[in-house]
Structure 1
Amino acid sequence: MHRLTHVTARNKSTLADKLRSAVGGSDYGKTKQSFAGGSISAKDEQGEDFRELYVMPKRKLRGQTQLEQATGRAEYKTRSRFDLIDRLSERPPRSEEMDPEKQKWSDVWPAARTFAASVVPLPVRMGSRPNPEKRAPFKKEGNLELVKIPNFLHLTPVAIQQHCEAIKKFCTPFPPELLANESSSSSILPISVQYSTYIHQGTNIRDIRSRVVTMIVHVDSLKLSDSAMEKFIRLAGNRYDEKNRKLTIITDRCHTRKQNLDYAHYLLTVLYHEANKVEQWAEMKDRSDNLKVEFEGSSTKTKLVDLIEKAKTAGLESDEKSIEKFGEMWKTYRNSEETVEATREYGRQMKKLLGIN
């Protein structure tokens, strides 16, 4: 082990002299006064005055002042703050001065903005705690959870009504004739578009389901011929509803709603032009290739005519005009699902046609 035998000090150093005087027991205050009075001067090698280095600050630290105040060795006068008037002029939060019953909320929150606890006069709480039964969620003041999520404080029923009244002058009223007669709306407005907008809390306010577009078209408004209509139905497949005679196109392949809407219009345009297109092989179409069974040219009609002729020969009365009604009923019966009521109607029409009561 090594022991420190002596300490080297820098010559011609005022700090070293002070340390020697302090160790030797000399009066440091007198020495300091003599330096300040100029009786003792310290010069460096270049002959310049030695600039004293204060290791400790000349002012007292806050801990020293507090210690002196606590022990009673010093008294400090209390001074008023320089910003006292400004602090007294600060108003309390607006939510405390607001009267919810008289305040017009649309003036306070006219548009979408981040949640502000000082404005909303509601005891809103949000957050999670280990024991929610014992401790309620955090208050609205300084609550970051309320700032993160979007709010709809600007879409109150009164605010929505004011917006509607403001834009009402730029809109035209819906035709009352369409409201009175819904059947006429299909001929005047044959295309309807449906889509949904989803609003939820999450990392992304956009929902992938909002891009889906559903287009409903009344096929009768397209004014297609019989052959074109049959081809149109074949191309549409299960998208065509025969009962309502409506075509439903659902598009969800594209990323945005506008792209899917354009794609739906494109599909409708392609279906219409392909249905009206006549190919060379279409002329080779036979009766058996029809989508539905037709009464005209069928063996049923041939046998029915022969049966009516035999009924006349036997003296039975038959109504020849009812053949057309029977043909319409027969076509419906053959091309639709068989039910008990349809079978009974078939029997009634057959008896009426043959004159059997």
Structure 2
Amino acid sequence: MSVFIRHYNPGSVYNAKIWRFASTTAETPKLTNGEDDEEFRVLDILKKRDKLQRRAPRKADVPPDRAEKMRTDQKWGDVWPGPKSFHPSSVPLPIRQGYVPKGQAPPGKKANAELMKIPNFLHLTPPVIKSQCEAIKKFCTEWPKLLNSEEAIEKHYPLEIITSDYCHASPVIRNPLSRIVILRIKLSDLKLDKHARDKFLRLVGDRYDGQTDLVTITADRCPVRRQNLDYVNYLLTACYHESWNYEDWEGDKTLQDMEYYDFDMNQSKRNLVNWHLLCLNEENNFSDEEIKLYDVASIPNATEYIESVSSLFNDGESDATLKKYDTSVRKLLGLPDKKIVT
């Protein structure tokens, strides 16, 4: 390709220049009769691209599943040492889980989200538990030989603490019910006198069971179990020491001010002592203080009679209390049992 440029200056001759450019094609200029070929050549803007040769896909060698290569005599504690999410390649068992329509098998262990949701106990196999027990045995002490029965344990350890642990599927491992603490102790183990016992029962209210003689205190208001444990211990300690306090106004209470029926302070005890002395043909010249201190346990069938009279006044009249009172009076007087004619 050639370009002809002509420059003109006034008062001078023309000055002409010829510029030549190389063509974009690879053809060499042809010479005709010793002169350059001045024909136009084609400008190739869109170059032709060579066709890329597609690569053949290369197949990777996938190794077999780990569960298929496990030995039957392997140590399971090394494979599953602790609690973790379910992994199908680590468990050589045909585990299935999931809801399916009736007549179909549950989904297998691979790509099973249901198996990953719930906690598992695959790490707590009997051999692993045995090895863990052997490991912590050196930190344990021998069980006392004297604590060989439930009666001995209750005698030396009368206080009982009850808590519960839960395992559930939840984003957090702490269950709200695990914070509840229950304290139980027998009232007879607290060593209270008559005044302290009565005051203690009024403080605990319906937390005392007369049939089992157990005082049950439950705490669940604190968010942590340790706090509830400290709280029930505080409640028992506070009630115990408060029951031993003797206020000044308690000395001014009369028989009419009593909240319950006390057999030793009422006329019933004097009547019982008078009847017993009359049966023995003995003189009755006891004062009120001597009547209060008189031991009625020496009177035959007097204990059952005292319980029936106290129950009749304290619990109210009912078929059970009246029947108990009738039976105790007949035994006290030596009368035969009542016969019911149908």
Aligned to 1:157: 126
Which 5+ residue runs of structure 1 have no aligned equivalent? 1-29, 36-51, 66-77, 315-319, 353-357
**d(CA) in 2 for partners of 1:108 and 1:323?**
75
Structure 1 residues 141 and 312, CA gap change in structure 2 (3 angstroms): closer
Q: CA deviation at 1:235?
A: 0.4
Question: Are 1:93 and 2:93 counterparts?
Answer: no
Matched residue, 1:177: 146
For residues 211 and 321 of structure 1, do their structure 2 counterparts lie closer, same or farther at Cα, with a shift above 3 Å needed?
Answer: closer
Q: Contact (CA 8 Å) 1:230, 1:291: kept in 2 or not? A: no
SS at 1:243 equivalent? coil
Candidates 324, 333, 341, aligned match of 1:350: 333
Q: TM-score, normalised by structure 1?
A: 0.66
Equivalent-residue separation in structure 2 for 1:178 and 1:271 (angstroms): 29
Q: Mapping of 1:129-278 within 5 angstroms? A: 129=100, 131-134=101-104, 136-180=105-149, 182-278=150-246
Q: Which moved more, 1:115-124 or 1:343-352?
A: 343-352
CA contact (8 A) 2:297 2:303 kept: no
Structure 1 contact 186–218 (Cα < 8 Å) conserved = no
The 2-side partners of 1:321 and 1:283 are apart by 25
Q: Deviation of residue 299 (structure 1)?
A: 1.6
1:103 aligned residue: 74
Given that 2:98 and 2:114 are in contact with CA atoms closer than 8 Å, whether structure 1 keeps it comes out as yes
Q: How far off its partner does 1:232 sit?
A: 0.4
Inter-partner Cα distance in structure 1 for 2:297 and 2:222: 54
Secondary structure, counterpart of 2:218 in structure 1: strand
Q: Sequence identity, in percent?
A: 36
Q: Which has the higher strand share?
A: 2
Could you say what secondary structure the match of 1:215 adopts?
strand
Instruction: Give the Å deviation of 1:53.
Output: 8.3
Is 1:116 matched up with 2:87? Answer: yes
Measure how far apart 1:113 and its partner are: 1.7
Larger Rg: 2
Partner of 2:340: none
Q: In 2, distance between residues paired with 1:339 and 1:241?
A: 22
* Structure (1/2) with the larger helix percentage: 1
Equivalent position SS for 1:214: strand
Shift, 1:32, TM fit: 4.3
Secondary structure at the counterpart of residue 244 of structure 1: coil
Unaligned runs of 5+ in 2: 1-22, 29-43, 283-294, 312-319, 336-342
User: Distance between the aligned counterparts of 2:305 and 2:49, measured in 1?
Assistant: 114
Deviations 1:261-280 (A, max 9, x none): 12111211211121122222
CA drift of 1:321 comes to 7.6
SS of 2:303's partner is helix
Letter in 2 for 1:126: Q
Aligned-CA RMSD value = 3.5
Alignment size in residue pairs: 279
SS in 2 for 1:296: helix
SS at match of 1:220: helix
